[in-house]
Chain A
């Protein structure tokens, strides 16, 4: 009878949720917006997405092989990064741009800092910022040749949608919500992004703290500013600001990235509010049309500090003054 049983420390059961399943869920949640992007912007968009995913996964595989580390591509994290990089590309971007972005995002931002969970910055956004600086003309050319949007736009507009908003023009609300507007491949369809976000909320992969505090703060600040500045239709301007740029994609799918956002509940709210303020400052005070990527990347760097300052008080360790916070 001796030693025939398997012995280990408790607990002897584990939850079914794994890193792979979480990343798989995120990838699935991104699919509706990706599919919309392909329909709206044409077949080149599909090519961009595929190339981004493949080059991200390959970058991780090759780097881990060369450095003789365990290969982790099966955890789906590199694939999610690749998909996000693709979704952050303009529809007609030359293919070498996302490839460079993937190599930068996976190797420099993620692997050099220790791989999954160790990166201090969201790899997809790190890649996007790198590309925005290095290839600014390619990254801000929003001309559309194919798809539904390409067919409906008579003149090929290369202006960024948020810049168009600044000129006082507005998009029809329906088009805005469905995503029939210029933009990066994955960011335009608020509807598809919200469906994906709802999926992640139901699975408890993400919760509302970061996205709601982020979007809420940005909404309130922008609305107040557009009222005080005497814009024609402050509310519809603010709604356009919410749906026209990268805010939906950023708030629901990139600000919620585990490795680069705070872990504590309070910290997540602080983080979301700061993101809202920064995005507002970038977009409404400074003259840059977009501000989501830089806001998130900046806050990524602060999130370890936020965690440190918002650590939960150990149970039974707060000063007893009859107060308890549930």
Chain B
């Protein structure tokens, strides 16, 4: 069957081979664990503990700050060392609970459940209680996503296993190693939407994962595997929905408006753990990759562990890195330092011996049109970037600048090395801030 795809996009080197073939390895948590209270989109969680309190694994340490919010759980046992501001991956200081790990791994009791005995409301409630959020990066609370205005109109539940971001292989390893949990998690979600079919979307550069998942979905008549063309950003929500269903979603719509709900692989596995095992979200699969690390592979890490501890536990650097990226190189954030904790949404750390963009000097646009052909939102990034530089807000909006998905394809492909995506992003930030007022 023809691999499905969208119009636009680019083909960066995927660099997955350096980490894709080693099985997931569990890392021991560090001595000090930092739990940010804002690991999701929406209101930050409110700390429930204070300095000196004893905590155990699975204990709620931050309660949801509203409906669009999610609780935070401790992934270690020990003592609360501080409730204070700590740095997140973006460099902002945010509320956090700091726990001194006693290494005993004393764990709470969970209440498992049978799916047959649960109503759709129970399922959503269990997901909400477990603090599950979109683990692909955005961190939208999953229970909110699963409560659309018109649940009857949802006919596609997509599991985003495209993993189009270079270097990242955590979804790939999950597809291979946790295929049953994934199918069970998806089955839980499908129970909420009786009219929907579940579709696991995988790019065609991962034939082993496709085979494995095809095997795993046998017997589930509402779930199938779709093969996507390997292209960046195939895994961008709007591109994925279009590729699978032919429906277009713009920036003022939700996927649910097109009858779709899209979840990341790790998120669906977290849904399984939350609904069936009753276990809150406390760990995730995390790719450590790049030429600077000694052992590029995927690790099962506890949320709250610092990047520095992960790198150390993973065998350290084989060479001093010049650039460290939280996430992958296309959409990740470069870090000032490694004293940043893993959150529910951090999927990877990519470490480069040399910063690949440091020496690229922007020159004049030659109007080659590569950015126009590469833009998955069908914009003209070269024009938008100019408009943004001139600060022309009306024209920027009139030319649909707000439809940009910030995938970075334009900057990647530009032969003149112009910072197109940065200019456009900056203008979008300005306009979004104004709209919020």
| A and B are partners in one complex rather than unrelated chains | yes
Task: Give A contacts to B, CB under 8 Å.
Answer: 1-15, 17-19, 21-22, 72, 75, 77, 114-118, 258-259, 262-265, 311-318, 320, 324, 326
Complex alpha-carbon distance, A312 and B166, angstroms: 28
Closest residue on chain A to residue B360 by CB atoms: A14
Chain B positions 339-398 with a Cβ under 8 Å from a chain A Cβ: 339, 350, 352, 355-358, 360, 363-370, 372-373, 376-380, 382
Q: Is the CB of A5 within 8 A of B336?
A: yes
Q: Is the CB of B367 within 8 A of A10?
A: no
> Chain A at the B interface: mostly helix, strand, loop or mixed?
loop
Q: Which residues of A contact B408 (CB under 8 A)?
A: 10-11
Closest chain-A Cβ to B372's Cβ sits at a distance in Å of: 5
Q: Which residues of B contact A265 (CB under 8 A)?
A: 373
Interface pairs (9), CB distance under 8 Å: A3-B336, A10-B332, A11-B330, A14-B412, A15-B414, A117-B364, A258-B366, A315-B242, A320-B248
Closest chain-A Cβ to B373's Cβ sits at a distance in Å of: 7
Q: Is the CB of B377 within 8 A of A8?
A: no
Complex alpha-carbon distance, A15 and B12, angstroms: 7
Complex alpha-carbon distance, A211 and B397, angstroms: 34
Binds A, one of B22-30, B69-77, B316-324: B316-324
Complex alpha-carbon distance, A87 and B253, angstroms: 54
Q: Is the CB of A5 within 8 A of B7?
A: no
Residue among A6, A114, A117 making CB contact with B366, cutoff 8 Å: A117
Complex alpha-carbon distance, A313 and B338, angstroms: 42
Q: Is the CB of A15 within 8 A of B415?
A: yes
Q: Is the CB of B365 within 8 A of A117?
A: yes
For the complex with contacts A14-B412, A314-B250, 7 further pairs of A-B residues with Cβ separation under 8 Å are: A1-B339, A12-B323, A12-B355, A13-B329, A18-B415, A22-B366, A316-B253
Q: Is the CB of B400 within 8 A of A19?
A: no
Residue among B357, B363, B366, B414 making CB contact with A13, cutoff 8 Å: B357
Chain B positions 177-219 with a Cβ under 8 Å from a chain A Cβ: none
Q: Which residues of A contact B308 (CB under 8 A)?
A: 1
Q: Is the CB of B355 within 8 A of A6?
A: yes
Closest residue on chain A to residue B330 by CB atoms: A11
Q: Which residues of A contact B330 (CB under 8 A)?
A: 10-13
Complex alpha-carbon distance, A3 and B338, angstroms: 10
Q: Which residues of B contact A4 (CB under 8 A)?
A: 337
Q: Is the CB of A6 within 8 A of B323?
A: yes
Q: Is the CB of A259 within 8 A of B419?
A: no
Residue among B367, B377, B425 making CB contact with A258, cutoff 8 Å: B367
Q: Is the CB of B358 within 8 A of A6?
A: yes
